[in-house]
Chains A and B, each alone.
Chain A
């Protein structure tokens, strides 16, 4: 058992199992090594998609555990708040085939802080045995009075003067604050409270972890073995953070655990820290490989009755529709881990006014600790919540002053140079007017729907009278903050080697970026190809398996950071390789570029074919190696290789969406018909990746806006026949998902111009590479547009998301 079960730490693509067991060709001349690494085509390549379609792509659940592998199961607390009085694991251990049971103290759990907290784990020869073992564990709880409603926490704090459960507070003001004195003549005030429930997780993305312990002879000559390390295969959104968390939980040094990142399943990666800890502990206890999988029963549903986030927003507009003052108070129910919800609070507070100009703003936000499951990290970030609130308030304000919602949006649109609620000035392109114009030029889908009944609200056979179907359309804008001011430091490093083999020039890129299956390495290949003008690029993760990306992969800026690091390294290698040409041209090698197969000087006056140049400089297998590094700080002093936004400035990504929703006002079913998306993507490096990002943002938005928790469907079932807002299921299926009309991306980034030159001319520089997070903007704008369209269709102002059409419309 001292052999690793899979190649640790390499490129996931290289871990693909062979297509067919080797039919070894017997050649006189050995096949050259480069044949195995043909240059992938442009786009995200061919090998990985083909492996996915054939079922050969190695997700964490598919890694073979080897002989003797055990299955783990997790027992979760049915009580939100309880003390653990007595735990007896003996009956479980007596079951044949059960190898280890850990509970309570052994897991570091002394009291239950939220419903669904893991209190016992078991490893057995069969998953059903492991579950049976957990049923046999005797756990006596002493349930306490749970705090499940954030409002209770405030009430208690006021009553007792003890605010220990209020864990964070933020306050931002602009101008005179959100002064809400009696509205003057012609002014109007709209005031609504919005509630956001915890979205149920789609079932399609389970968490899976495989823990493999490695042993070596202990050297005492008696055949004894000692543990030398633990290999952990798992999909994780932030490998370094997760590795540290597991090390702390199991008490091993960080070098002893090799975390092998696996591809994501579903966009949320089915991330469950309990699974990692359970698998690691059980593998160490039993000395055998352990697989832990998270099923739907493990999903932390929380309490559907108490929303996770409450936002109370008041907007004052004058008779012309100009936004005069905004006051927002919001409470984030951080659950049992309020610290994890603070980034959510920050982002929500800064963005809740939306992309609208307002001179008097006051925003206050709190995070409170309750006995609900941890709220953070909220999937997709807080931009979605902010956009939903901002757009709903603009619609309400438009109705209050009797103007069209579009009119109000255009009138109050934020521009480059305006201030955000936290006082930062907006810089860079904010092309919202352009996006709105292209959006309004598109056609609306025909109404009424049909003749195919599958296009009606409520899916097949669930539409009442067609005369009761009403159509709603909503336009929403969203703005996503790129580099928040409190960002500590994020960095990436890369090494690029330019060399040649018998097939010509080839580039090797080594970087810690994990390809989670959505083409991150294809982006890096594209980057190296662009800088060096070489078609064949091979991206590898470093041979040291402990070398993990230092920043979060999921929602973070990692791809951007690594692209920049590769670009800088590739430029370093390029200037080394082109030193002689530069001498001939009498310019510095840094001023040479490779464009359209030519090596050209920066001003384009002198050039030489790149094939000719490389043939000469790469003769004799010469290698040019350079390292690159890129860092981002939220604030501080900029320097080469470190990107820091200018003090007091903010870069944002924007998107404009229109959603069309049909509502059956009799049966209370909805159907999102079409979503039209206009994006500023900064600069599109790989179109299919950007399109997939938009698509996934739209799907997540449809999921969140329309999903009904199972118990709500049951509640509604009494009067409505048991179905959610869209149809009989809990989650939107392909039958109910809207048609996505993606308008051509607007690319506002001006490219690779030097930022000091731009500044001298009065421009704010775009972010390096023109980076803009498309998926988060898509999620935010789409959710807000769907909510606006539904309000329009129902002619009501539902304030709770996920939407429950029943009980709202007249």
Chain B
């Protein structure tokens, strides 16, 4: 992956190659949640509803650094158990990865982690530390897979399309001219409830044609 190669140029990442994570010592100390100096805790003087700094509550927080769509990012004060999907969508605003089922069934959340498709809803964000994450936003509209999907599958609701696009790219990287059964098998991790498989098979074939 070209993004993985670009990766070395970012100093902050190579400097921290040990992979150790800084865990906020204040959080997750195991004390009663109300006692102790927990970030974001509401004090009695503060009425409910006043803006507060992002709270981690009784949860341990870390910060991670990774490359999203070629751009180095740092996510501070992230809960250790946050999913990659939550971090991408809610912390980084990359909403191309969709929140479908949250349990790895629908495939709407697929992103590429170092070039391999993963289900972002089941992948802990910690896994992305020091990795390159690619969402559908990385591809401009001139991209042949996006164009083929838009041409053939635009009449559906489109919620599954970003994930299907990424899986298709990874399929075409392995098999430049996949058969119909291979396309079906490759995309079987994505539940689309608007269009029958024929539209997607046509789209992948067209993407192959456009690549030539």
A interface list, Cβ under 8 A from B: 19, 44-46, 48-57, 59, 61-62, 64, 67-68, 94-100, 124-129, 132, 202-206, 208, 263-268, 286-288, 293, 295-296, 452, 454-455, 460, 516-519, 688-689, 691-692, 695-696, 698-700, 703, 729-731, 733-737, 739-740
Contacts and interface: CB of A to CB of B under 8 A. Distances in A.
17 contacts: A50-B154, A53-B158, A54-B162, A94-B34, A96-B41, A96-B57, A98-B57, A125-B54, A125-B55, A128-B79, A129-B55, A205-B159, A206-B102, A267-B157, A296-B105, A454-B181, A518-B156
A699 B98 contact: no
Contacts of A517: 157-158
Contact of B185 (A54, A98, A735, A737): A735
A698 B197 CA distance: 11
A206 B101 contact: yes
A97 to B, nearest CB: 4
B139 A126 contact: no
A692 B194 contact: yes
Contacts of A288: 49
B187 A734 contact: yes
Contacts of A296: 101-103, 105
Nearest to A696: B194
Contacts of A126: 55-57, 59, 79
Interface stretch (B15-23, B125-133, B143-151): B143-151
A696 B150 contact: no
Given A700-B193, A703-B193, A95 B137 contact: no
Given A128-B59, A205-B100, A696-B193, A519 B159 contact: no
Contact of B159 (A49, A50, A127, A266): A266
A692 B103 contact: no
Contact of A286 (B48, B89, B149, B153): B48
Interface of B: 33-34, 38, 40-42, 48-49, 51-52, 54-59, 79, 81-82, 86, 89, 93, 95-103, 105-106, 108, 135-137, 139-141, 145-147, 149-151, 153-162, 165, 181, 184-185, 187-200
B161 A53 contact: yes
Q: Which 4 A-B pairs have CB atoms at the shortest separation, nearest pair first? A: A55-B96, A49-B154, A52-B158, A203-B101
A519 B153 CA distance: 12
Contacts of B158: 48-49, 51-53, 57, 263, 517
Given A95-B33, A96-B58, A49 B99 contact: no
Nearest to B103: A296
Given A52-B150, A53-B161, A96-B33, A44 B101 contact: no
Contacts of B100: 203-206
A56 B101 contact: no
Contact of B199 (A61, A695, A703): A695
Contact of A100 (B38, B48, B59): B48
B146 A54 contact: yes
A266 B59 contact: no
Given A64-B93, A128-B59, A129-B57, A699 B155 contact: no
Given A129-B57, A735-B188, A691 B197 contact: no
B57 to A, nearest CB: 4
B159 A59 contact: yes
B184 A735 contact: yes
Given A55-B97, A696-B193, A204 B160 contact: yes
Given A61-B98, A129-B57, A54 B137 contact: yes
Contacts of B41: 96-97
Contacts of A689: 155
Contacts of A95: 33-34, 57-58
Contact of A203 (B105, B153, B188): B105
Contacts of A287: 49
B155 A518 contact: yes
A64 to B, nearest CB: 7
Given A96-B41, A699-B196, A734-B187, 14 more contacts: A50-B154, A55-B161, A94-B34, A96-B34, A125-B52, A128-B82, A205-B193, A460-B185, A518-B156, A729-B105, A734-B184, A735-B188, A737-B197, A740-B196
A787 B199 CA distance: 25
B40 A699 contact: no
B154 A55 contact: no
Nearest to A291: B90
B105 A696 contact: no
Contacts of A56: 96, 137
A695 B196 contact: yes
Contacts of A452: 181
Contacts of B108: 204
A575 B209 CA distance: 48
Contacts of B188: 733-736
